[in-house]
Structure 1
């Protein structure tokens, strides 16, 4: 009861990650492997929940870092933080069902998944409601590179929810499932949220240990903006291409597949250029972070008295 919310997030994330990993290997059992519906259901369920458990681990690091930057532990023990934690845990366990709308499984699973997915509206509305106070806090701490990564993750949470909620509606899901929209949603969440939170956590350690002078870290501002601009272009190219392909899937008699794919060529070019810029900019941060962490001197442990 006396532990902050991020401890609970790390604990549940770790336990669910191990459980879902074991679950993802159920296809080795003939009962699941010999039935395509069973196998696809278990695979979507296990990997959907595995992503949720990984998110628990990363978001726990984010909340820990926010408490550290603020200099208090108020948010880690707040009722709001625990309410969001339980909402995330609820989604981790049941949200996966919207991936199998197109499978001939029990309708109860799909109905539960739809209701659970719509609870994400709570987070979406909360972000909009608190945007003004978030903006004032951002202006106060924006000189601090780790906080910039936190703000980027916050914006990408908003964009990811803005895409995820419509994708969870069956009438929209039938257009987006199996298209580049799903890829864009996944990459936006993985790079925009998880990677930015990890960078925030790592560069906070680097800043604290003064491995790199703060004035040199500030020189990475341009790389930061290139990374986020490239990611936004990368994401939009995938989402737009996916919706166009989804529209074609529902109207296959309009043009041949080859003609449809040719019409998406401009989006793939943007995808390639933006992806290359994103790779290069993230590589800069990774190289700097790894080089700095390698230079860290291990803390000396006190010798036992003889």
Structure 2
């Protein structure tokens, strides 16, 4: 049985990916697979702009609310789960539609991408080294064995991961970087934004989150172990509003920090997705967005 191409709706945060994915699902008899890493977490609803039941309009959604905030999100786990879901959805005669702005997660589902394993003992030793020596010392160590990754990485967690992979496999972390080759047929639709309009929209969205109870949500998740997690407490809004709970910032200061961080994140997302020539871009505010997206899906090879 020949399955149709996977559809992926991508773009920066706040561009309307979830809405378009739902509309495509209704038009093409599809189901949506979440590819936003922070929306995996139960209870992280306001700060991640998680799509509500009403907004889903009856369309089945997968991989929402699958992790506790104390658990670590894993790209390799997502790859396995997403591909199983894609196969299952297609086997039932439906269309699988990925939606999200986590670029690496999108590529993990769509592209030929190998993930090296992990070793808790190596990881623990490297994390100890990080605490004792600092990230610059570990970066210098990485530069000796994997200069390509060392030139790209600045985040301490990713430096630790690159060193772990080298120790575990004998190969540089950079050798595992994906090629732009689909694992199975796919169509990627990108939402092209007016950056100034998006800047204002993101600011208004953060203010709505705060008015909607973001601080209370962070307080509730903090009691549930948010700070013990490795991924969840770094989410936009959550890291900033944890400072409010610690009396390290006011609500207004945390709100402004969240707006700035969200705008920076949107720029990084655009840079990531713009680098992929396979994405077909549509104007996010085009009144004919849905029919144009449907046309793209129906006219690309393998669909």
Structure with bigger RCO (C-alpha 8 Å, 6+ apart): 2
TM-score using structure 2 length: 0.26
User: Larger strand proportion, structure 1 or 2?
Assistant: 2
Structure number with larger C-alpha Rg: 1
* Higher fraction of helix: 1
TM-score by length of 1: 0.26
